[in-house]
Amino acid sequence: MNRRPVFLITVLCFGFAFFYIPILSMIVYSFNASRLATVWGGFSTKWYVSLMSNRQVIEALMLSLKIALVSATIATILGTMTGITLARFGKFRGRMLFTGLVTAPLIMPEVITGISSLIFFILMADWIGWPGSRGFTTITLAHITFSMVFVSTIVQARMLQADRAIEEAAMDLGSRPWQVLFDVTLPVISPAILSGWLLAFTISLDDVVITSFTTGPGATTLPLLIWSKVKLGVTPDINALATLMVLTVGMGVVVAGIVMNRAEARRRADERMAYRSND
């Protein structure tokens, strides 16, 4: 029974190799002393040093973080409002159409979203003189429009799961609907809101297509910078930058995993406690 099928193990190894060998080779070559990306010239950390002193990279990183932070936060607020409305508004004329309109951007090709955002900004500039130039504001607005859809989808799913009676109970105990929202609804769905924010943040941080349509002179985000640098050939400092990003993301995943494991262990302990105190 303990002999696992050879075929399955092979497939598993291939899968992992396919996925991780490129990343591993990138990490290895980020420590390459040679200028040539594909020729090993000994171990060195000089690309990391040069990265830290590269103003262009630091500025691009700061801009990306700023856009991701602002767009994720606004998208979370708007997306949460949409999600709650869709889940709680009950039946109304055109509800199906409305739900469809909200989820359509999920499957819309990014190029289309990018182009339509660009055309919209150009038209707006013609009509009301705003936005005068494209950059931080236009990128952020474009990111909000497509990432809020993810938030609203997550929130809506969580709302449909939640026990409606909890909100009714709060209302029954004297709270007006807006108080119920802040006292009960939002705290109950807060994990969904948090994961929506994280998703919106990640999507914004690594977006190339929509950003490239809505950016302007002087506003280069990190993915755009990497993209434009790679067009001139892969250099070891890009490897170093990418390695740092992998490290950051990896650490994020590990920390999230530990936190979730702890929460699970605590929940189990709580359940044991409840069982013991059963009367």
Which positions touch other proteins (CB under 8 A)? 163, 165-166, 168-176, 183-184, 187-188, 190, 267, 270-271, 273-275, 277-279
Cβ nearer to other proteins, comparing 53 with 278: 278
Nearest-approach distance from CB 248 to other proteins, in angstroms: 31
Nearest-approach distance from CB 13 to other proteins, in angstroms: 42
Nearest-approach distance from CB 99 to other proteins, in angstroms: 21
Contact 197, 151 (CB under 8 A): yes
Nearest-approach distance from CB 161 to other proteins, in angstroms: 12
Nearest-approach distance from CB 170 to other proteins, in angstroms: 7
Phi-psi region of 94 (alpha: psi -120 to 50; beta: other; left: phi over 0): left
Cβ nearer to other proteins, comparing 107 with 173: 173
Nearest-approach distance from CB 171 to other proteins, in angstroms: 5
The closest of 102, 104, 114, 111 to 139, measured between CA atoms, is 114
- Report the interhelical angle of 186-205 vs 136-161 (nearest 10°): 140
Cβ nearer to other proteins, comparing 28 with 273: 273
CA distance 210 to 110: 6
Nearest-approach distance from CB 84 to other proteins, in angstroms: 17
Cβ nearer to other proteins, comparing 2 with 277: 277
The closest of 220, 223, 229, 219 to 204, measured between CA atoms, is 223
Nearest-approach distance from CB 277 to other proteins, in angstroms: 6
Cβ nearer to other proteins, comparing 170 with 240: 170
- DSSP classification of residue 216: -
CA distance 83 to 20: 36
- Report the interhelical angle of 55-88 vs 186-205 (nearest 10°): 140
Cβ nearer to other proteins, comparing 35 with 262: 262
CA distance 159 to 89: 11
The structure tokens listed for 89 are: 């508004």
DSSP 106-163: HHS-HHHHHHHHHHHHHHHHHHH---SS-SHHHHHHHHHHHHHHHHHHHHHHHHHHS-
Cβ nearer to other proteins, comparing 13 with 271: 271
The closest of 198, 7, 176, 161 to 87, measured between CA atoms, is 161
Cβ nearer to other proteins, comparing 112 with 186: 186
Q: How many CA atoms are closer than 13 Å to the CA of 219, on its beta-carbon side?
A: 19
